[in-house]
Structure 1
Amino acid sequence: MDIKQMRIHALRELMGPMSQKEFAERHNLDASYLSQLLNGHRSLGEKAAATLETKIGLMAGALVTPVIGKAVALALSQPREIESNAIMLGPIDVWDDDTPLDDDEVYVPFLKEVELSAGGGRNMVQVSPKQKLRFGKITLRRQGVQPSEAVCVTVSGNSMEPVLPDGSTVGVDTGTTAITDGKMYAVDHGGQLRVKTLYRLPGGGIRMRSFNRDEHRDEEYTAQEMLEKEIIVLGRVFWSSVLW
């Protein structure tokens, strides 16, 4: 079988069970021209093969160099199904503090930094009496989070970009404070709220890592330094909300 015959053979394989008319209509080909090619009345030379590849949507060279093989040629010819990677959950309901909770909802409070009146400019982290978010109980259950142990934190600055831009909100499971390397946690660092990716260090220390490592270097603290600097792991981040 010479190369021109191989191209015709590959073309027949591409057609599969379709008739010449169906194949021609699908790829906007002249049915008479296609018939002449398949019947050997026209030569399927290199130039004609290249033109045909473009019309059919094949990778360049699939017919010009048919050593690509039957299986690959068939795969290239089949229309690919588009796979969805998003789910429409429905319309967004607008609510405020006076909107009653649904049966499957709970309020999750925010943590905030509060300046101590006699603290010399120092802060402490505490629950905000005003800020809160509504969460579905099923959402928390899927993450293994007890509603009473869930809090929210607002991320400030660019250290966690691009994953968490300035102003992002994260949900924190305060019931999970044991560090799993590479997971994200909320940390009380001497009264300052911080969200970082944490890694364990020998002797009980930790490494804090930002996503924006070009501007924010890793920070390492020994167990003793954690005590001195009042570094407390508040909980694991299980949810985030980002406005772009």
Structure 2
Amino acid sequence: MDKTALRRINLRTAIDAANKKLGFKSDVAFCEHYDLNASHISQLINGHGSFGERAARNLEKKVDWPTGLLDEDSGSEGVKGPGHSGGIHISPIEFRSGETKPTNVRIPVYKDIKASCGAGIENFLEDVSEYLDIDPYILKIMGIQTKPENLRIIYSAEYSMWPTVAPDSPLFVDVSDKDPDSLKNGNVYVFTHNNELRMKRIFVSYAGSRSVRLASDNPDKVRYPDEFISNEQLNEINFVGRLELALVKP
């Protein structure tokens, strides 16, 4: 494993160890305690930012971790968090097909697509990574109401929709619900705008001329401010679909 990938894994496990030891309920709480940029830390973990020698040492110093902690290769159990006797291994979430049934449905999965990450993406629903084979009854138990054939699975990134959606959460998106004139007020939608894939809760006001508020669920409105657009600007947005379910929450 290359050094950068090792640092990303070790950062994830070290933060989890610190959260457990110090009682932080989320990565955001951890970052606030140590005066770290939560979005930047999420990018380091998820492979969206440079994570060189200097960045690793500076981060260790700021959090008061032993120098070189993020470069330790502890095998499959992961790095041991400071003050912990055992290692913590964080396994990535994977969809695995169980017993195949004739009644199962196949939902396209896009493993490399992340909403709210700000990366330029076009026509991304053309390249399927894999499929989730699942019993429709399980979808109903999960609270999904739309027809299975309308579902696509992408992933979340960063903390703009926290605590509703955690980073790296699989997102079940209903791609049939994307007409800007028929939006379900107060629901979360995934859309592309200016070549960026985004995810926001959308509120439409019909008092006087119609106005639209694009809101992040994150309570930090300095870092994640609400956006206000006109009806004309709403029609310029290319809606991908409505969020039916975020599988993993903090």
What TM-score results when the alignment is normalised by the length of structure 1? 0.49
Q: Structure 1 or 2: larger strand share?
A: 1
Q: Which has the higher contact order (CA 8 A, sep 6+)?
A: 2
